[in-house]
Amino acid sequence: MSLPSILTRIDASMPAALERLMDLLRIKSISTDPAFAGDCEAAADWLVDDLQSLGLAAEKRKTPGHPMVVAHGGPEGAPHLLFYGHYDVQPVDPLELWERDPFDPEVQDTPKGQVIRARGASDDKGQLMTFLEALRAWKAETGTLPCKLTIFFEGEEESGSPSLIPFMKENAEELKADVALICDTGLFDSKVPAIITQLRGLLGEELTITGPSKDLHSGMYGGLAINPIRVLTRILAALHDETGRVTVPGFYEGVPEIGDNMKKSWEALGFDEKSFLGDVGLSERAGEKGRMALEQLWSRPTCEINGISGGYTGDGFKTVLPSQASAKVSFRLVGTQNPEAIRASFRKMVQEMLPPDCTVAFTPHSSGPAGQMDTSGAAFETARLALTEEWGVEAAYVGCGGSIPIAGYFKSILGMDAMLIGFGKDDDQIHSPNEKYDVESFHKGTRSWARILAALSA
């Protein structure tokens, strides 16, 4: 194996690689809309064909929803890598905000460089193709693949992954590998590559408070009848104290302080807090006092109200005292915080704050603990150094404020750690009109995988 020659081949193959990506981008694989079920099948078929052309034993696997694509191949032995991506894309509405047909991809010149413009260019077709293009160059240059490989593509990531857990459980033996690689995230910023090593968990809870048995007129009952909106606002307002800490009893059990090393390395990232906030019209950090910005985003738990409704909310005014008021509350979790223990404590706190004549009904929503990768295995540092070489700047271990459930499933169902490495940029407009993927992301992403594969299989 000669890494330099593989990288050279990647450089030379870029025009052809972009053509292949654009072929895949033309397939309207919107998973959430049943009208596009045939397109999802077509995208899976396209990938099976492409994987077979790389010498992998690939097949489309049925699920109650859209198919999975699973492929195996490469020389027996360690390491055995599993690569995950998803071929489905977000819906495209509002279509009128797109500058061109979202499924007619084009390479465009922009002031910041060339981009591939299309729905799914960044999320996740462009990203998953970086891995396949790295394999293609490897195979062309060496006649074989770098190591034992399992490829696992899903077609329901943008619609809640209903088939994912059952499929992983039913095929656990087949899918197990030494480490998982997930390419569905971004660079730390446009120049700094990153491996995500911690993800926040998520707990969703909906509560509906009922007071009177029907809507009342505030002229007739106001001053005497309990108003569930007032009860709700009082409870929600009590979920944080004056310093921004969450008041749910026991909430901070299992919340670790970040170590000095982590703190220093995050400080070294030079996170541009001012522009991060400024981009969304803010000038000051809210939330817990006495924490650095990245700590707030990556390693501190939160409680947020994501929706609230009650009474009359149309145009004009109606002097109603409503029977009910509702809110959707979510918690981002870190460390070993226990989602179900927090759900129970939250419910108890709400119950205890209820005045007479009020009842509360809870609807549980998503629940998953935080994810913490064990970076002590050699693979993480090996991959980080490979990324550093490609990008010419120290690659970072970073956190992620969101929740990427697949990483947790690899751990809980298959017992594997996952490395989340991706090349998306903040301005890729994923889930929005005019999605794009930088040609630089595609090109250097492909080269990054070649380097990582070389390093891991050395």
Contacting a copy of itself (CB under 8 A), which of 31, 130, 296, 441?
296
For the bound state, the minimum distance from the C-beta of residue 10 to a copy of itself, rounded and expressed in Å, comes to 31
From the list 6-14, 90-98, 144-152, 219-227, the region that binds a copy of itself by CB under 8 A is: 219-227
Considering only residues 174 through 193, tell me which ones interact with a copy of itself, judged by CB under 8 A: none
- Tell me if 280 contacts a copy of itself by CB under 8 A: yes
Distance, CA of 365 to CA of 26 (rounded, Å): 35
Residues of span 352-391 touching a copy of itself by CB under 8 A:
355-357, 365-366
SS3 of residue 86 by DSSP: strand
DSSP H stretches of helix in 89-222: 125-142, 164-170, 172-175, 218-221
Part in contact with a copy of itself (CB under 8 A); list of ranges 54-62, 134-142, 145-153, 292-300: 292-300
Q: Is 402 in the site for a copy of itself (CB under 8 A)?
A: yes
Q: Which contacts qualify for 440-445: CB closer than 8 Å, 24 or more apart?
A: 440/113, 440/114, 441/122, 441/126, 441/130, 441/187, 442/14, 442/17, 442/18, 442/21, 442/116, 442/126, 442/129, 442/130, 443/10, 443/11, 443/14, 444/390, 444/391, 445/127, 445/130, 445/183
Calpha distance 151→135 (Å, rounded)? 11
Check residue 313 for interaction with a copy of itself (CB under 8 A): yes
| Sole binder of a copy of itself in the list 233, 338, 345, 412 (CB under 8 A) | 233
Residue 182 near residue 418 (C-beta atoms within 8 A)? yes
- Choices 73-81, 114-122, 171-179, 318-326 (CB under 8 A): range interacting with a copy of itself: 318-326
Check if the beta carbon of residue 442 is closer than 8 Å to that of residue 21: yes
Residues 107-166 that bind a copy of itself (CB under 8 A): none
Which of 100, 234, 264, 348: binder of a copy of itself (CB under 8 A)? 234
Could you say which of 55, 91, 162, 204 contacts a copy of itself (CB under 8 A)?
A: 204
Helix (H) or strand (E) holding 414: helix 405-414
Q: Does 238 sit near a copy of itself (CB under 8 A)? A: yes
How far from the centroid of its chain's Cα atoms is residue 298's Cα?
Answer: 13
Q: Which region among 11-19, 161-169, 312-320, 447-455 touches a copy of itself (by CB under 8 A)?
A: 312-320
Stretch that binds a copy of itself, among 115-123, 317-325, 342-350, 409-417 (CB under 8 A): 317-325
Residue 319 makes contact with a copy of itself by CB under 8 A: yes
Is residue 245 near a copy of itself by the rule CB under 8 A?
no
- Using an 8 Å Cβ cutoff, are 56 and 70 in contact? no
Binder of a copy of itself out of 162, 254, 401, 433 (CB under 8 A): 401
Q: How far apart are CA 41 and CA 155, in angstroms?
A: 9
The secondary structure of 201-226, three-state, reads EEEEEEEEEECCCCCEEHHHHCCCCC
Residue with tokens 């120049």: 191
Nearer to a copy of itself among residue 59 and residue 206 (C-beta): 206
3-class SS at 16?
A: helix
Quote the least distance from Cβ 277 to a copy of itself, whole Å: 7
Q: CB of 421: closest distance to a copy of itself in angstroms?
A: 18
Q: How far is the CB of 204 from a copy of itself (least distance, A)?
A: 5
Look at residue 292 and give its three-state secondary structure.
coil
What are the tokens at 231? 């009860």
Q: Does 281 bind a copy of itself (CB under 8 A)?
A: yes
- In the complex, least distance from residue 224 CB atom to a copy of itself, rounded to whole angstroms: 5
| Rounded Cα distance, 399 and 378, in Å | 19
**403-432: which residues touch a copy of itself (CB under 8 A)?**
403
Residue 285 is a binding residue for a copy of itself (CB under 8 A): yes
Output the smallest distance, CB 165 to a copy of itself, in A: 18
DSSP strand E in 177-268: where?
179-182, 194-199, 201-210, 216-217
Task: Report if residue 306 touches a copy of itself, rule: CB under 8 A.
Answer: yes
